[in-house]
Amino acid sequence: MFSLQLTETHEMIRQTAREFAHAEIAPTAVERDKTGEFPAEIVRKLGELGFLGMMVSPEWGGSGLDCISYVIAMEEISKVDASVGVIMSVNNSLVCWAIETYGTEEQKERYLRRLAQGEIIGAFCLSEPEAGSDATSQHTTATRDGDEWIINGTKNWITNGTTASVYLVFAQTNRELRHRGITCFLVEKGTPGFTQGAKEDKLGIRSSDTCSLGFDNVRVPDSNRLGEVGQGFKIAMETLNGGRIGIAAQALGIAAASLDAALTYAQQRHAFGRPIAELQAIQFKLADMATKLDAARLLTYRAAWLKDQHQRYVKEAAQAKLFASRVAVENALDAIQVHGGYGYVREYLVERYLRDAKITEIYEGTSEIQHIVIARELLKEYALV
């Protein structure tokens, strides 16, 4: 049963995130979209605010907040700049969560505290040139050599790729066991043999940095193994379940920004002797945009709430991401349509919303993968045997 009561703390988080986004992120968002510059100073301030380790326990330098708080903050930050949203999301849900859940005390002391406070940021390295959706087909290998592991391979599309200091790297340690032979390692920037490719020139979320990574006989001590040998794929999947809630929240931000822009423009722009907001064709669009946004938000809150209740949320997280990312794209398209020709040029923000929205249907599991996850969970729930 889903029963959510937002608290004063949740409202306070919303207010803080909103004010921070407007004061600190908005002034440079348009320029960074053009130049692709990484928002280093903003990320530093997000860390000071406690937004880079929102769900991490205060014992490890985090804010100790629930997943609903995280979703609320992610929506507000992404509403102003989805590039900042994904940097925040990867650090919180893919890196901090995995280390807090599977790490040793020593790993948490060494990495989690600094990650949670934004002194350093992290990256999650699962995708490869030939293993995107088919994540069990890892080609990267890790071979044991005494107390060390030697990693070889290539990772692709890594968010925070050039700016991170610590990387969660998934590698095959026993190919015969297929996904049960995958192990996760913590690799530090600067380790010999570890190289970063050029920053990708992307359609959207342009000021987040994405690159490929090379591993040429990279040696890491066994103490940098995250979790058990062979547990890596489980860690990746469990971590991505939570990550998908973060991306759903990022999508909510883009969908909400699109609605706001359409509502404003429709009341300012006149056609046929009156504001276009008085035309039913436009009103229907606005109504659909708002209704889909609310539905997406409810799905996302439900997934976050289940996670907070320590209940299974695999299906619900996938549903939230599937639907919210679709709504982000549709609302951005509708916002452009409401703006007419003005929506197609950079003078207005809505064209960026569309470019930023598209990736939410691709990363952390494409929409096609979300369908698979949802269907498999449904068939488990309603199995006839």
Residue 137's CB: how many other CB atoms inside 10 A? Answer: 13
Among the residue ranges 7-15, 132-140, 167-175, 338-346, the one whose residues contact ligand CAA (CB under 6 A): 132-140
- Least distance to ligand CAA, CB of residue 309, Å: 17
CB 66 within 8 A of CB 308: yes
Is the CB of 238 or the CB of 260 nearer to ligand CAA?
Answer: 238
Torsion of CA 143, 148, 151, 157, to 10 degrees: 130
- Least distance to ligand CAA, CB of residue 137, Å: 8
Distance CA 289, CA 262 (A): 9
Among the residue ranges 29-37, 113-121, 124-132, 339-347, the one whose residues contact ligand CAA (CB under 6 A): 124-132
124 scored as a contact of ligand CAA (CB under 6 A) = yes
From residue 272, alpha-carbon distances to 111, 269, 287 in Å are: 61, 10, 21
Looking only at the bridges linking them, the beta strands covering 122-125 and 166-172 are: parallel
Is the CB of 178 or the CB of 270 nearer to ligand CAA?
Answer: 178
107: tokens are 């790993």
Is the CB of 42 or the CB of 373 nearer to ligand CAA?
Answer: 373
Is the CB of 187 or the CB of 276 nearer to ligand CAA?
Answer: 187
CB 160 within 8 A of CB 208: yes
312 scored as a contact of ligand CAA (CB under 6 A) = no
- Contact flags string 288-307 toward ligand CAA, x per CB under 6 A: --------------------
Radius of gyration of the CA atoms of the chain, in A: 21
Among the residue ranges 30-38, 110-118, 143-151, 358-366, the one whose residues contact ligand CAA (CB under 6 A): 358-366
Torsion of CA 327, 333, 338, 344, to 10 degrees: 150
290, amino acid identity = A
- Least distance to ligand CAA, CB of residue 233, Å: 6
241 scored as a contact of ligand CAA (CB under 6 A) = yes
CB 153 within 8 A of CB 171: yes
Residue 280, CA atoms < 13 Å, CB-side half-sphere:
0
- Contact flags string 314-353 toward ligand CAA, x per CB under 6 A: x---------------------------------------
Q: Which residues from 103-122 bind ligand CAA, rule CB under 6 A?
A: none
Output the CA angle 150-153-155, nearest 5 degrees: 125
- Contact flags string 146-185 toward ligand CAA, x per CB under 6 A: ------------xx-------------------x------
Looking only at the bridges linking them, the beta strands covering 141-145 and 148-159 are: antiparallel
User: Across 58-140, where does the E strand assignment appear?
Assistant: 122-125
Helix (H, G, I), strand (E, B) or coil at 63: coil
- Least distance to ligand CAA, CB of residue 341, Å: 33
233 scored as a contact of ligand CAA (CB under 6 A) = yes
List active site positions: 364
- Least distance to ligand CAA, CB of residue 364, Å: 4
Residue 45's Cα: distance from chain center in Å?
A: 19
- Least distance to ligand CAA, CB of residue 352, Å: 19
Please identify which residue in 225, 257, 364, 374 interacts with ligand CAA, judged by CB under 6 A.
364
Angle between helices 314-339 and 367-381 (to 10 degrees): 140
Distance CA 329, CA 118 (A): 30
Is the CB of 109 or the CB of 134 nearer to ligand CAA?
Answer: 134
Is the CB of 97 or the CB of 363 nearer to ligand CAA?
Answer: 363
3-state helix, strand, coil in the chain (%, to 5): 60, 15, 25
**What residues line the site for ligand CAA (CB under 6 A)?**
90, 124, 126-127, 133, 135-136, 158-159, 179, 233, 237-238, 240-241, 314, 363-365, 369, 372-373
